[in-house]
Each structure stands twice: as structure tokens, then as C-alpha cells.
Structure 1
Amino acid sequence: MIEKGFSNPTQRVVRLKNQIINAKPHVESERAVLATEAYKETEGLPAILRRAKVAEKIFNNLPVTIREDELVVGAITKHPRSTEICPEFSFAWVEKEFDTMAHRLADPFVIPKETAQELHDAFLYWPGKTTSDLAEAYMSQETKDCIANSVFTVGNYFYGGVGHVSVDYGKILKIGFQGVIDEVSAASARLNRNDPEFIKKQQFYNAVMISYRAAINFAHRYADHAEALASRENNPTRRAELQQIAKNCRRVPEHGATNFWEACQSFWFIHCLLQIESSGHSISPGRFDQYMYPYLQMDTSISKEFAQELVDCCWIKLNDVNKTRDEVSAQAFAGYAVFQNLCVGGQTEDGLDATNELSYMCMEATAHVRLPQPSFSIRVWQGTPEEFLYRACEVVRLGLGVPAMYNDEVIIPALQNRGVALKDARDYCIIGCVEPQAPHRTEGWHDAAFFNVAKILDITLNNGQVNGKQLGPVTGDLTSFRNIEDFFTAFERQMSFFVRNLAEACNCVDIAHGERCPLPFLSAMVDDCIGRGKSLQEGGAIYNFTGPQAFGVADTGDSVYAIQKQVFEDGKLTLDELKSALHDNFGYPVGSNLHSVTNASISEQDVYNAVQQVMSQGGNLNADAIKNEVYRLLSSYTAQASSNPRYQEIKRILESTPCFGNDIDAVDMVARRCALVYCKEVEKYKNPRGGQFQAGIYPVSANVLFGKDVGALPDGRLAKEPLADGVSPRQGKDTLGPTAAANSVSKLDHFIASNGTLYNQKFLPSSLAGETGLRNFSGMVRSYFDRKGMHVQFNVIDRDTLIKAQKNPEQYQDLVVRVAGYSAQFVVLAKEVQDDIISRTEQHF
């Protein structure tokens, strides 16, 4: 293996990238107005036909936009990197933010006054008619109270479309939209009128044909526009490009692709139209290198350089997609996250290595474009070529937070355990953040809810109460626990109560989408909706799941172990003392943040204290462990001091407890147990589509937002501080190096968390330098996966660079970092999310 480096992007790609970086995201009104008109015109029709008419109206009338320099065309909005509104899902939050969305903490959007007026006029139709209205009507007051008190949230699908799917791009590349129309027409002709579902199936097939004919017209409108632009173009090179673009749009996606350029154009039209049909995010391209490679392989006339430029252009187009959310959700998804996960590598359905030339070209495109989308991933297994993994490590070293890496040896059996056939499990792709699914066969409802495990801990410590109100069951005062098993008995009862309400909330939203917003265009590209004659939202997929995700696992594990060790084993604290200290936030003002310090002078005494602290925890005296401890100490020095000396002592005792992330079995097994309590409770439930709930452990950036709703914890954390992200150790607590941290994470049961787990690591760039650095890095990944870790992703950047970017954002517009299950431009993140990334442990080999 040798370091190869990456070639330079073409000037076209640089210009297209700059359009994205310099864009000011806008909210646009055309889709909302068109959808509202379609709904008004179809009063009284069944929901599936109304949705087809909505798609028809939008596909036939949305403005056609071809941006300068584009080789692959098709846009959702007139402005780059902007968004349309989908009022059929929800609208009230948009109107409330007309005057504030441009200035809010996370993900601001410009809403011109005329756009706001057009949206307001459209919104007058919608009260009582949205999916969110119906979902709320189904929910019990008990479930609403759980949401109101931030135990969990279903805001993702409550306010927007479901998304979180990968469709059969390969099928459309082969037979085109006309092939789908022919297939559906034949299925309709075979219907048996004695079938009690005859009418509903016939309506579904009619809806598919209506939407697909309009989708073909959408592409033809682009052909017309490209021809018009070509007729006015003076530059002969660009004129020829526009003429070819017109030919491509005339051919695909109506018919099958015959070369690689047509395949790229067809891919993008499919993806773009899916985004237009509904507001669901995490619509993921899936295994791009598998379904696109045959068209590269057959195209003997294309140069490798032009083929690479086309792939680069697809990467740029994925960054043109954007979503707006309500202010609270925007903080949870900070960084204009769209989660279009594209993965390469892994295995074929037959269990052979799937790596091909396009797999490497996708890595090259990521290096060329250096933007947050696609959310680029690789699959790794025992048969993965060393060259492939090594090349992926070179991409990681660029500091973009990609590719995320996934372990076939865990994910394939985890999916099989959920009833997925072996060949389908081998063909898995990643959706959104980290969620595995069998592509174009699954309605996974991944990301169905955020569940705050640390909040359940907080509620358990307070006997089921939140702010003095009895929200959960009465499970005993903290001071009544005689041993750690008494705590777990109470914790499990609280978990059972709140997961039951979580399942109710998810199912209410699920039912509402099935009744009010079935999606015929999307459904026809997922098996076996055509065969079953029903939409994806009504159970048409082969595999149906609901996947809520948890966060705060490390905080919970560390807290429970601290109680076990410091109270029940070593007797350094009493439960009365602990209860009082937690109630009073260890004597600190609520809102003190020990992780916000990013720059301060370091004295010799600080270094001495750090060395003593590392030694007391049995840590290695390496520079990074000492530096992390120095920053932690500096943070505690600068926070407002507690006025109670005993509280200060209690906090020191709790913080001296060994933590998850240092390969200590006693601690790690407690964290594993806490995670399993959640996962096992979740999998008890079924959804309205006939599928099973499955747990995931990943946070997006909700660990920061929902940390504000958790009080002080027995691990020494103050109230309102951020929680640990995903399955990662708490920030700054994994002090014994990257291998020890990864070993701890691998001890969690990743097989049961089959909706995905997320592990973040941050490395200093110097640690990955040169051939040795890459060899060490790839070896660590192999070792972690051998121990049955499911996923890992990396930031390769130093603290100083992040601090400089925070202070001088205009100089770091193209700095991309890994937030959680996605990457984002660092400078567009809310400061508290930036602080959370800065505070993560900097690992070093």
C-alpha cells in the first residue's frame, strides 16, 4: 500500500461548488401554492388519488431551473441550496417563524415578504387537514405530556414527511418510468374484481400512473428549457453541452439509460422528484457504485476524466437539496442536515466482494467536492480489499468527517435476526445517519423519535417526577434504594412506561401518514408495493420497521456505575447526600457549562494537576490525555464555583469514578446493561404496517439540545449540559487512547440495536500523517470491527483550528466537520453544537 493522494477537481466543479458555498438559503412558496391548489381541486377524492394529483400538479408546474455550468440538471428550488414548504404535513410553525427564521440560532432561512404572503394565503386552507393534526388527535394526553416534558420527541415525522428510504434506482435506470407504467398497467389488468381490496388496489395503480406520466413530463420540460438555452448560447462548448443535456432529458428517465451520462441524469431526476413529492429527508441514494457501475462499464466512448466529472456533478447536486424545520428541530439537526446517505463497497447478494472502479471514483468525488453531501459511507467486511480500506482512510484524513464505516459482520446478522432474508441483508445500504436497511424493499421509519435515556435516569432518581409533577410511575425515593439492583428495578419500570408512550406516539404519526399522505410516486419504486397494490405508507413494503433512537447512554452508564461504586461499594457518599447535591446542581447556578471553555492560558500548576488526575485514574501519561484533563480542569476553574464545600467534594468524588470509554469491564458492562434496558423494551412493540419496532442509538445533534432538559447527574455532570453523543463516551472522559475507547464501545450489544449505532472519534491530524499513520488507523478500524463494533466515523482536526473557525467564520466557509450521523459546514452550526464538537477528546496513536 502506498499513499496515492487525490487529483484536483475541474474548474467547472470548483465553480459549481462555490455556488453552493456562497448560497443564502431561501424558503420558496411555489410547491406549497401548487399543492394547496391541487387539494382544493380534489375535495372528495380518495387520499391516494389526491396525492397523485398533487404530484401531477407540482411536476407539471414547478419552475424549471438549469444552473450555470451544470451537466446534470433538475432543481427543487430557484435559489441554490434552498427549500420548498409542504403544508400537507404541517404549516403553523412556518408562519410563526416568518419574522424569526432568518435570524434563529440554527439553520436560518431567508423568507422574503412576498413569499411569506403567498405562504400565508396557502396556509389558510390547511387548519385541521394536515398529518400532524390527525396524529395529535390520535394521541392520549399521557403521551402528549411525555413529549411536552422532553422525554422523547416524534417531531421529525410529526412535522414533515417520512423519507428515510432508498428506492430501486437500478430498476428505473434499466426500464425507465415508462417501464413502471407498463408494469402497473399489467398489474391493474390482472386484478380480480372479487378481491375485497380490488377498489383500493385499482386506485393505487391509477395514482401511480398519473404521477409517473407527470414525472416524465417534468424531464421533458427540462429538455425544452435546455434547448431554449442552447438556442441563445454564444459559447459553442456550452451550447453543445446544453444540446446534449436536452437529448438526455428527452431520453431519461422515461426510458432506460444507454450510457453513463444518461444514467447520471436519470439517477438525479429520480432523486430530485422523490424530494419534491414530500418533505421527507434522509432519502438516500444507497449503493450507488452497484447500480451505476454497469453503465460506466458499458460506456466505451466516455473518458475516465469526464466520467469522474459527472460523478462530481452528482455530488454537487446532492448539496443543492435543503430542508427547513421548526426552530427546536433545527437545533437537533443543526447544519442544514439532509442525510442523503450514499455507500460503497461491502458484499454482493451472493456474498462476494462488491468493490469496483466506481467505488474508488466515489471517494475521488468526495475529495474533489468537499461538501457535506452526500453523507458518504463505506461497508467493510473480512473480504474488503486492503487497498479499498486504505483509500477510505486517506479520505478520512482530509478532515471531512467521511466516510463513515460500517461492519458487515454485525449488520448482516442483525438484519437477519429481524427477519430479513440473507441475500437482502447482504445487499443492505445505510439510510440517513447510520440506519441499515435492505434497499428498495424496506419502509424502516428510521429516526422515528429521539428518546432521552438520560432523562429516564433523571426521572428515576426523582421517583417518576419532573419539576415536581408526577409524570412516570412511583418507583421509590432515591434514598430508599438498598443496592444497585433496587435502582435497576425502578429504572426498568420507568423505561417500560415511557417506551410504551413512545410507541403510541410513533404509531399515531404512522397512522396519520397512511391515511392522509400516501405517496404513489415513491411507493412504485419500493418492493413489493406494486405486487401488493398498496402504498408504502399502508404496508406495501416487504420489510416494515419503526426505529426510534436513543442518546445519553454513556451518561446513564457512568452515573449508575458512580452510584454503585461510590455509594454501595466504597461508601464515600450516602444517598441522602447524593440526592441533595443533585437537587441543588452541586451548588452551581443552573446553566453553568463546564464544556464551553475553548481558549485559556495554562499554568505549570494546571499541568501538574492534570498529571495527578490522569495517574489517579490509571491512565497513560501521554500528551493528549494530559491536555484533555487540562482543558477539563480549566473549564471547571472558570465556571462559577459552588458555594457549598461538601457539594464540591461530592462532585470531585463522582468525577473520580472510572468512566465508560477506557476499556474497564466493570464500567462498560453497566453501560451495556443500561442500553439493553432500552433496546429490549423497544422491540416489544409492533407498528400499524405489520412490522416490528427496533432500537437505534444515535443522536443527530439532539444530545446538545435535549441535554438542556436533564438535571444534574451522578456522573458529576451539571444540569443542562450536553449529553454524550450516540454510543460515544462522554466528552473528554476517554483518556486512555483510541483503542481503549473503541474497545469499550464494542462491548455494547450492537446486534440488538439493529436500527443503527453511532460512534464518533476525533483525531489530531498529526496522528494520521504519513504511511505509518494510515496503517495504524486502518488497523484500528479492523480491530474495532473484529470486536463487533457496528459503526465508526471520524473528525480529523485539531481544537485550535475549530476555535479559529468559530471566531473567524468568514475565513472557514468550506470547513466541513462530522457532527453526528452527518457532516456539516462548521461555521453554520449553532455555537453550542460547535462547542460540543470542540470538547470531544482528541485521540492520538
Structure 2
Amino acid sequence: MVEKSTRIDKLIDDLYSVDPRIESERAMLVTESYKETENQPIIIRRAKALEKIVCNMSLVIRPDELIVGNLTKSPRGTQIFPEFSNQWLADEFDRIEQRTGDLFRISDQVKQELSGAFQYWKGRTTNELATELMFDETKDAMNAGVFTVGNYYFNGVGHISVDYGKVLQVGLKGIREEAQAELAALDFGDPEAVTKSHFLEAVTISVDAVVHYANRLANLAADEANRTNDMQRKIELEKISANLRKVPEYPATSFYEALQSFWIIQAVIQIESNGHSISPMRFDQYVYPFYQKDVEGGVISEECAQELLDCLWVKFNDVNKIRDEASTKAFGGYPMFQNLIVGGQNARGIDATNPLSFACLEATAHTKLPQPSLSIRVWNKTPETLLQKAGAVSRMGLGMPAYYSDEVIIPALENRGINLQDARDYGIIGCVEPQVGGKTEGWHDAAFFNIPKVLEITLNNGYSNGKKVGLQTGDAASYQSYEQLEHAFRQQMEYFVKLLINADNSVDVAHGQRTPLPFLSSMVDCCIKKGKSLQEGGAKYNFTGPQGVGIANAGDSLMAIKKVVFEEGKLTLPELKKVLDSNFGQGAAVSAAAPAESLTNVDLTNLTSEKLVDLLKDLLAEQQTQTTVAAPEAPKAGNKDGEYIRQLLINGAPKFGNDNDEVDEIVRDVALIYCEEVQKYTNPRGGTFQPGLYPVSANVSCGMETQASADGRYAGEPLADGVSPTSGRDQNGPTAALNSVAKLDHHIASNGTLLNQKFHPSALQGEEGLRNLSALVRGYFDQKGMHVQFNVISREKLIDAQKNPDKYKNLVVRVAGYSAHFVSLDKSIQEDIIARTEQVF
């Protein structure tokens, strides 16, 4: 273990010394550029816009930095990208500083400058074009909360990993030469020669602009070196300047140069477009040759290499963006989803673990920051030492690393047409999305599809809040069997998935027409050869990946209806619908955190086992294998109150997460209905749709859009997180919960699945705790689970952090497919994390 340099804490303190600020510089420059390039091809306009920005933006080298390259003047600031959307920001100007999560500061001058720039963009944004392209039925479904495509509807696409290794090996000069060679070889008779030539010219403009950006930074470093009286800092700045004179224009020749080259690419991708999830992916593979040469060759010490790596880890956290209020509730905690993964196998099927894999884990342990979003690939030949090191980082409570199974993901990608060698070289994008780096335009996070909302609409004969948005498949009284209800639900799912496809494809077309990205495209395989940007289908592999949310709620609800209504006849479907419409007699949505005043207002599943026994010992009969508790004594005829029915639904049927085959099979079927429907469709880039089952943290915002459900969930409460059981309903321990989740078909959900587990810190203490965690992960993956991640923190600490945020400014927790500072989260997301089942072995 290498000790942390004292420099790292100084860098972190400086980074978090002020609240993030909104800056107007990029918005002003891109607007100025567009005004100068009217009537030129859009791909050329995009290249010249990037050139205008990086050649004129303010440059900053922050104190003590060894890896440099800024996106904003202020630490963790955000630029604005008006070409994608802007009206939402203008509408929220006066509320930005009052947000309860993801707070940003904005000056009156910046508001004024942005307002002026926004006037030019009216009618010109991707958001406006996408809206015009959508069917009215699609917009109705979105307004009803069935799905949202807000991620790319308002922002850039992102969710990509470029070929960083190629840049390190040949430099941007090599990419420029490749583009120029293709341009020279164009056949004048080729019907696509005109558009290809424009793209290749745009690539040349873009890479030249990035080289100029690096040289500007080199000049700044040299100037600062000349001004400083600190001899140590002078030497550091001179080295920084020398690095930037060389990379990323030319190939890297040292570990330090490789890190600096990597960061310039990482930064400029996010200056070109505000799409997040720009993921380094297999960093320990393409950077390792430089680490091996310098560290193992004795050129630099292991301590020096670790300090450089730690500096890069801090730099990841300087990247930020502002989202609209609604999206902030789904993506709380300033997340940027820069996923970096270690371990796994190489293209030849040999374990690829190396010393840099361990150094990356050490960097996360040293910095204790939410970025990069660290992950680990696991297969049957993963060294136990790597898994033990990962477990040691997990029990630090950062929610990292996340664990992924090669044994599931590689065949899942092959099933989507990816060749074996490429599939073995996968990494993770953003939250949990598998992708082949440098070869894929995956469009992950393309939508969040609210499955319990579809069941709600089914029970309401196609209506939501009094408006017809779905199919009229029959009113509640018309269903004489569970099979009839399930069939109607399937019909509604098919209808709404088709509308989701229309929404995604509309946004996809809008990005291709208005915001192609030549610099990003230049570093993805096949784009230069095809003469097409990523947005036009230039990548080797093209997908669109929307995800289903709330499968546990929908499955538990269907199980409760099947058992309580159709099998046992304790309730009729019209009675159920009436009580759901009244939110179990509560009227407005009930807070998940509301204290219970009496036994009749207690959600039994949210209690510890000790309190449950104390409160209900006179009502419990015996613990069933599926952990179903006997329902409370029925009231007299005609007096079925809302809380009685809610408890009947909760306790009268088994729940997902307890290793009960009956309910687990229903949840599996719900997931398959969604996945099998999504994969039928193709996108405008010549690729296919692939489904995922994860919410980021949209399970909270989707829950806000959804009425009370038959699993006993109040209106407005969060939906279940990813493929995780509903909070509090998994009562048989972590292994039983994993057994339930493993019964899902993870192979078909090739866009990713997400399983969160929360452990009390005492469960992972000592060597035995690490061995137990390792065995848990391997056991789950042996059953063909795809992904699992852990929050190792007590409920009491989270509650105290919520009450006393100033004491916990550095507390990082796992939200969904990412980690974030707990105190920066909206309270609704905090409550969802607190409510998760706390496991012990």
C-alpha cells in the first residue's frame, strides 16, 4: 500500500472550496461561431464552433495541479450548451440557487449574457426539432409519466468511451493523417463523397483545435513557471508545459504524458458536448504499458506514479453540468458517470489484472471522491487478491467499486452481434451499461420507462388522471381471471414501448441533423473510414438502450392481485382500484418518512425484525419460507378500510427478494415483457434497441408520477431501485435477495441491470468480512447475476447526516449506478437510500 501524498488533500480542499457556478463563456462563444458560419454544412459548423471555444476560452491551472486542463474558470463550475436546449434554464434562473439538491450559483451578469445568447437559438435546438418529430400520442404518454427521454431530449448524448489507447499510441497527429488520407482517397463519383469530405474536413479542424488548446495550456504553464518564486512549483510547471508541447498531438512516451494526454481528450469531449458518462472504461489496460515501462522499469517510483494517478482522480471531479429541476431529481448529486473499470479478461480470454488495476483501486481509496465511478470486472479467474482489494475499498463506504460479471456480459453482447474478441474487451459506460470502448455509439440511458405506471393505466382502462393515454383494454370489473389482467397489461406494455421507440428515434434524428460531434467521432472506430459522424451511424456498433424501472413493484403488485383477488377472493378488483385511487384512504401522497402514530399506520416492511416482533407478536402466526406474515384480523363486513387493505396486500402475498419462486417468476416475466418488446426495434443509425433494467435514481421521480400500487406502496413513494427488491420487503438476508435477483434473465437486459445492497459496517469487519463479501459476489455471479454494488453504512449515520449536513460534507454514498456526496442530494433521494434494507450476514 502506497501512502497518500499531502498534495491530494490540498487539491480536494481547493476543488470544494466554493459552490459550483454557472458560467456563460461557452454559450457566448458557440453562439458567436454559429452566427459566423450560417449556411455552411452543419458538421463544419460544429467543428468551427469547437475551434472557437477552445481557442478563446479562459484557461486555468489550479494550485498544486500536476494534471491540467479546465472546462470552467471556477472549480466544479458548469458551462451552458444552448444548441441542445435552453428554455428550461431561462425559466429556472430565479430558482437555481434555491434548489434542495445540486445547488449552483449564478450571477445577474451571467443570467443577462445567457438570456441574450438564448434569443439566437429559438427554433434551432435539438430539443425543439425532436419535439416536432414526435407523435402526439408519444407526447401524451410522456406527459402522463409513462416514460421520459429527458436525458438526450435536453442535452448531448454522451455515454461513450473513445479509443483513448489509440490517441496514446499515435497522437492526434496520427488521427489527422488518417482523416487526410481518407479525404485524398475519396472517389468523386461516390454519391456520399460530398458529405464524407465535409466530415473529414471537420475532423481535421477539430483535432487541430484541440492541439492548439493544449499548446495554449503549455504557454500558460510556462508563464506561471516564470512568475513563481517557488522553485519546486517552477519545476512542476515547466514539466507540465513540456508535456503539453508533446501530447496529445504526438504519441505519449511516459506514464505522466499518458495521463496528461488522456485528460485533455476527456476534457475536450465534454467541452464539445454536454453529454455525460464520458467513460475511461478499461483504463488499466491501455495505460498499463506506460505504467509498466516507467514504474516497473524504475524510471519513476511507485509513490510518484500513485501521486500522479491520484491527481487525475481529483481532476475527474472538476467536471460538472447543470440539469433541469425534474432531471435533477433523477440524477441527484452532481453526477457525471465517468466509469472506469479494472480487471476482467482480455480479447484472448486471459485474465488482464495488472499492478495498475490495484493502483486505480488505491487512488479511489486515497481521494474518497465520487468520480471516477470505479468498477471491477469479475470472472472465475479473477485473482482473489484483486477481489479482496476491491472489498476493502467497498467497506470504506464509498459505494465503489461496482462489480460486473464477465460470464453474463460477454455472451449478452455476443447475442447483440458483437464479435467475441470485442465482447471480451467490454467496459462499463455511465451507471451499469456494457459497451465495447472505441467502437460503439450505444445511446445508453435513452429513456426511463415506468412499468408500474403502465400497470396503473391498465387498471384504469387506458386512462391516467382522467385523460386517455393508452389502450382501452377493459375496466377493472371486466377481468375474470389473473390471465386476462396479465394479457391486458402486456398489450399496454407493447403499445407504450412503441411510443417510447418513437420518442427515442425522434431525439436521435434531431441530434444527427443539428448537433453532430466531429471531434468525438474522430476517436471511434469506423467513423473516419465511413466518413460519417457517430450521430449518422459512423460507429462499428450502434445501439439504443432504454431502461425499464420498477419491475419489483409491478411484479409484487401482480402477485398480490393474483393471490388476494383471484385466488383467495379477499378483495375484488373494483375494490382494489377504489382503494388505490384513494391512496389507501390517505388522499394525497404519503411521505415515506412519515412517522407511524399507531399500529394501523405502520408499514411493517420498514421495521427492523426486533421492532416487528415487539409490535406484532400477537398477530404473527408463523414465519413462512417466503417471509409472508399473516394478515391482520379482517374487520367486520363492509368495513375494509384502506390501511387494512394495504397490509393485506403487503403481508398476504410473497414479495420479490426472499427467494420465493412464485413471485420471483412473476417479476422475471414482467422484466421479459419489457425486454422482449424493446429488442424488436431498430434506430435511425442502422442499429438495434437493447433493453436495460436500471433507474439511475429515476425510481424516485418515476414514483412521484405513479399512484398507489397493489404492492402496498403509497402514491408518490419511490419505486424499487433497478432489479433490487422493494426497500424493506427482502427480509431473508442478502443471499436470499441475490437468489431472487439471479432468477431474472440478465442476458437479455444487455444494456445493463443494477442491484443495490446496503450492509451495516459491522457485517464486513476483519478478514472474515472481506471473505464473506467475496463469496457473496462470486456466488451471485455463479448464478448468472450481472451486477451488484454495495453501500456500507449504517442507517443511523445517514439520518444524522441528513440532520447535520455540515458534519458530513465529505460523506460519499452509492445512489444508484453512481456515487455522490450524500448532503448534495435532494431529500427525496436521501430518503430512498435511507429506506433500503440494511443487510447483515
Whether the 8 Å contact between 1:479 and 1:579 is mirrored in structure 2 is: no
> 1:149 and 1:233, CA in 2 relative to 1: closer, same or farther beyond 3 A?
same
**2:790 partner SS:** strand
Over 3 Å counting, the alpha-carbon distance change for 1:454 and 1:606 in structure 2 is closer
Whether 1:57 and 2:52 are equivalent positions in the alignment is yes
Q: 1:598, CA displacement in angstroms?
A: 11
2:457 is aligned with 1:459: yes
Q: Distance in 1 between matches of 2:587 and 2:760?
A: 34
Give the secondary-structure state (helix, strand or coil) at the position aligned to 2:120: coil
Contact 1:28 1:77 in 2 (8 A): yes
Identity of aligned residues (%): 57
TM-superposed deviation, 1:585: 1.4
Cα distance in structure 1, aligned partners of 2:840 and 2:407 = 27
Distance in 1 separating the partners of 2:263 and 2:173:
17
Match of 1:16 in 2: 11
Contact 1:31–1:84 (Cα < 8 Å) also in 2: yes
Question: Which string of whole-angstrom CA distances, capped at 9 and with x for unpartnered residues, describes residues 667-706 of structure 1?
Answer: 1000000111111111111100011011101111111111
- Opposite residue 809 of structure 1, the aligned amino acid is P
Structure 1 letter corresponding to 2:248: P
> CA separation of 1:513/1:598 partners in 2, compared to 1, >3 Å: closer, same or farther?
farther
| Structure 1 residues 257 and 580, CA gap change in structure 2 (3 angstroms) | same
In structure 2, the CA distance between the partners of 1:598 and 1:541, relative to structure 1 (3 Å rule), is: farther
Counterpart for residue 3 of structure 1: none
Match for residue 491 of structure 1 among 472, 489, 492: 489
Q: Contact conserved, 1:83 with 1:324, CA < 8 A, in 2?
A: yes
Tell me by how many angstroms 1:618 deviates.
Answer: 2.6
1:202 matched residue in structure 2? 197
- Matched to 1:218, the amino acid is Y
Aligned-partner Cα distance in 1 for 2:621–2:838: 19
Q: Secondary structure at 1:143's aligned position in 2?
A: helix
Q: Secondary structure at the match of 2:396?
A: coil
Which residue is equivalent to 2:539?
541
Secondary structure (helix, strand or coil) at the match of 1:102 reads helix
What are the ranges of 5 or more consecutive residues in structure 1 without an aligned counterpart? 1-5, 634-642
Q: What are the superposed Cα offsets for residues 22-61 of structure 1, whole Å, 9 maximum, x if unpaired?
A: 3310000110000000100000001100001001101111
- 1:229 pairs with 2:227: no
Residue aligning to 1:211: 206
Amino acid paired to 1:246:
S
Question: Following the alignment from structure 1 to structure 2, what is the Cα–Cα distance between the partners of residues 559 and 332?
Answer: 23
Kindly indicate whether residue 629 of structure 2 is the aligned counterpart of residue 651 of structure 1.
no
Q: Is the 8 A contact 2:626 2:658 kept in 1?
A: no
Q: 1:618 aligns with which of 624, 640, 662?
A: 624
**What are the Cα deviations for residues 385-404 of structure 1, in whole angstroms up to 9, with x where unaligned?**
11111111111010000000
Paired with 1:567 and 1:394, the residues of 2 have a C-alpha distance of 48
- In 2, Cα distance between equivalents of 1:662 and 1:603: 15
Change (3 A) 1:503 1:603: closer
**What secondary structure sits across from 2:97 in the alignment?**
coil
The residue number in structure 2 matching 1:671 is: 667
Question: Any residues of structure 2 matched to 1:286-301 within 5 Å, and which?
Answer: 286-299=281-294, 300=297, 301=299
Correspondence for 2:522: 524
Q: Aligned pair 1:685/2:658, yes or no?
A: no
Deviation at 1:773, TM superposition (A): 1.0
Q: Distance in 1 between matches of 2:672 and 2:623?
A: 27
1:122-271 equivalence runs, <5 A = 122-271=117-266
Provide the rounded CA distance (Å) in 1 between the counterparts of 2:594 and 2:799. 11
In structure 1, what is the equivalent of residue 565 of structure 2? 567
Residue aligning to 1:640: none
Structure 1 length-normalised TM: 0.95
For the pair 1:798 / 2:794, whether they are aligned, the reply is yes
Distance 1:608 1:264, change over 3 A: same
2:635 corresponds in structure 1 to none
Tell me the alpha carbon deviations over residues 220-264 of structure 1, each in whole angstroms, 9 at most, x when there is no partner: 000000000000111110100000000001110010011000000
Q: Report if the CA contact (8 A) 2:3-2:303 is conserved.
A: no
* TM-superposed deviation, 1:595: 4.0
Deviation at 1:606, TM superposition (A): 5.7
Deviation, structure 1 residue 615: 6.5
1:657-806 equivalent positions in 2, closer than 5 A: 657-806=653-802
Whichever residue aligns with residue 485 of structure 2, its letter is F
The alpha carbon displacement at 1:603 in A equals 13
Q: Report the counterpart of residue 817 of structure 2 in structure 1.
A: 821
SS of the residue corresponding to residue 229 of structure 2 reads coil
Q: CA deviation at 1:550?
A: 1.2
The 2-side partners of 1:814 and 1:537 are apart by 38
Indicate the residue corresponding to 2:116 in structure 1.
Answer: 121
Q: TM-score, normalised by structure 2?
A: 0.96
Matching residue within 582, 585, 588 for 1:584: 582
One-letter amino acid matched to 1:340: Q
Q: How far does the alpha carbon of each residue in 1:634-677 deviate from its partner, in whole angstroms, 9 at most, with x for none?
A: xxxxxxxxx96532221121110210000000010000001111
- CA positional deviation for 1:19: 2.0
Moved more, 468-477 or 609-618: 609-618
Question: For structure 2, which runs of at least 5 residues remain unmatched after alignment?
Answer: 633-637
Distance change >3 Å, CA 613–CA 672, structure 1 → 2: farther
Contact 1:598 1:838 (8 Å CA) reproduced: no
| CA offsets 1:754-807 (integer angstroms, 9 cap, x no match) | 000000000000000011111111101000000000000000000010011001
Match of 1:98 among 65, 74, 93: 93
CA contact (8 A) 2:583 2:589 kept: no
Q: Deviations over 1:168-196 (max 9, x none)?
A: 00000011111111111111111111111
Q: Equivalents in 2 of 1:256, 1:572: separation in Å? A: 72
Alignment RMSD, CA only? 1.9
1:405–1:596 CA distance, 2 compared to 1 (3 A): farther
Report the equivalent of 2:837: 841
Q: Secondary structure at the match of 1:697?
A: coil
| Aligned CA distance change for structure 1 residues 603 and 365 (closer, same or farther; 3 Å) | closer
**Structure 2 partner of 1:636:** none
In the other structure, the counterpart of 2:419 is 421
Instruction: Give the Cα–Cα distance (whole angstroms) in 1 for the partners of residues 381 and 410 of structure 2.
Output: 14
1:105 positional shift: 2.7
The answer on 1:407 being equivalent to 2:405 is: yes
Distance 1:380 1:739 in 2: 18
Indicate the residue corresponding to 2:438 in structure 1.
Answer: 440
Q: How many Å separate the matches in 1 of 2:682 and 2:619?
A: 48
Query: How many correspondences in the alignment?
Result: 823
Cα distance in structure 2, aligned partners of 1:605 and 1:289: 47
Residue 501 (structure 1) aligns with: 499
Cα distance, 1:575 vs structure 2: 1.7
Instruction: Tell me the residue number matched to 1:372.
Output: 370
Q: Which amino acid aligns with 1:253?
A: P
Distance 1:594 1:614 in 2: 24
- For 2:519 and 2:199, the matched residues in 1 are separated by 10
Q: Measured at CA, do residues 524 and 611 of structure 1 come closer, stay the same or move farther in structure 2, by a change above 3 Å?
A: farther
